[in-house]
Structure 1
Amino acid sequence: MKYSIIPVTPFQQNCTLIWCEETNRAAVVDPGGDLELIQARIDELGVVVEKILLTHAHIDHAGGTHEFSTRHSIPVEGPHPGDLFWIQGLDQQSKMFGFPRVESFTPDRWLDDGDVATVGNQQLQVLHCPGHTPGHVVFYHQASELALVGDVLFQGSIGRTDFPQGNHQQLIDSIRNKLLPLGDEVAFIPGHGPMSTFGEERRNNPFVSDKRYG
């Protein structure tokens, strides 16, 4: 599986285009906005987008979902149903953060822990990782040792938990019990900022390292 990161919105959210080399079929993960930038990357790579995957429903990750899915007539998969209230409040979120007005949507498929999301012939394991939002999910592609973690974990930091229904202990548990055990060599694409590996964060991240919890 290949990937291309496309920073979008004033929050520089890492929208990611992932695709199956065998089929040239692709998914857009977290199309928060700036759809013309996403489309330009799709056209440049010549892939065929078959779906949208969402890690969670904050506006910088999900704001462009309705427009993009309608434009391409493709389904939306994710997040977990725990983020329904965030989806329903997208218009309010747009006003709060100064984004263009966006429309709400209903995912074609809600995701839960243990589900599998496909892109072409590739399979991604779905892990429900609440804490930043109650319905946050992570997509893990075992074959390429790559995880798309949204706003759960960052290089040297972790997601905020001061939003409605955020939970700091849940977030720590999600990272320590679900993500880090996937292996030190697993690279991850966070919702913002540079990539890292679970091993690097396990060793050095002040919020979740073995030094703190070992």
Structure 2
Amino acid sequence: MTNSWFTIECINRRTTAISEYGHWEQGHSYLFEGSRKAALIDTGLGIGRISDVVRKLTQLQIVVLTTHCHWDHIGGHGEFDELAIHEDDQGWLEHGLPISSQEILSNLFKEPFSQKLPRCFDPYNYHPFVGKPRHVLHDNDVINLGDRQLKILHTPGHSPGHICVFEEETGYLCTGDLLYEGTVYASYPSTDPWKLHDSIKRIDSIEHVSRLLPGHKRLDIQRSFLSKARVALDKLADAEFVKHGTGIHECGDISFIF
């Protein structure tokens, strides 16, 4: 199903991927519907109104779970009332990202759009969301949606307050920008390559992960991709490359920039 800018794909009957394939980063947000409320994991770029799509999918109360406070994951936050973010990224959400508007726009337009932009989008008035969250998340918090529970896993590295979201019943693991097929970034001053390595080791140790739901690129990556990334990082760590300034490390279908 396509809604002009967004592509909607069914993961299961009550779990939906809302994707922005028209942008070079090909970002994904995820809607988890419970019996009492629904969780929206990230809100994308803010190019289209993601709330319009969400309201066509569910009338449940929405809580937005922020995997991390980067501009391409909080673009639609202003369209929702109930926002949640890890305490270590809270300051960025409330006071703004430590990155210039020029750099954000440069990333936004890094490659040509492959889909027609929505009429409501004004690229010359594009600013990342700034505001206060209603909920501050901590490691191992459980978000109760009624008959579904989502566990918050603090997985720093890509950002200080990065989280993954795990549903034990289905085995779905939302990895945000910690891991996806393509280039994983841990080269900015606010990143930490060593913590990213530790975070990937942590989520690789989780039993019963049935499916990875990444923040970008291909949706259909296998559980084995997680172990492959951990092994690659273990080898880079042995060679003392898991630190800032060591550059690009290509490891098959995944790359790391430190």
Q: State the one-letter code of the partner of 2:136.
A: W
TM-score by structure 1 length? Answer: 0.81
Q: Quick check: 1:172 aligned with 2:212?
A: no
- The farther-off stretch of 87-96 and 105-114 is 87-96
Tell me the equivalent position of 1:183: 207
Please show how residues 48-197 of structure 1 align to structure 2 within 5 Å: 48-65=60-77, 67-69=78-80, 74-78=81-85, 80-87=86-93, 88-90=95-97, 94-98=101-105, 100-155=126-181, 159-176=184-201, 178-183=202-207, 185-195=209-219, 196-197=221-222
Q: Pick from 34, 43, 47: which aligns with 2:47?
A: 34
**Bigger Rg over Cα:** 2
- The farther-off stretch of 119-128 and 45-54 is 45-54
Cα RMSD (Å) of the superposition? 2.8
Tell me the equivalent position of 2:17: 5
Structure-2 separation of matches of 1:3 and 1:94: 34
Taking a change above 3 Å as real, the CA distance of residues 93 and 206 of structure 1, as seen in their structure-2 partners, is farther
Structure-1 separation of matches of 2:183 and 2:26: 16
Q: State the one-letter code of the partner of 2:27.
A: Q
TM-score by structure 2 length? Answer: 0.68
Taking a change above 3 Å as real, the CA distance of residues 76 and 169 of structure 1, as seen in their structure-2 partners, is same
Q: Pick from 19, 25, 30: which aligns with 1:16?
A: 30
User: Helix, strand or coil for the counterpart of 1:77?
Assistant: strand
Structure with the higher helix share, 1 or 2: 1
Structure-1 separation of matches of 2:184 and 2:197: 10
Identity of counterpart residues, as a percentage? 25
Q: State the one-letter code of the partner of 1:117.
A: I
- The farther-off stretch of 195-204 and 182-191 is 195-204
* Alpha-carbon contact 1:202-1:209 (below 8 Å) kept: no
The answer for unaligned runs of 5 or more in structure 2 is 1-11, 106-122, 239-258
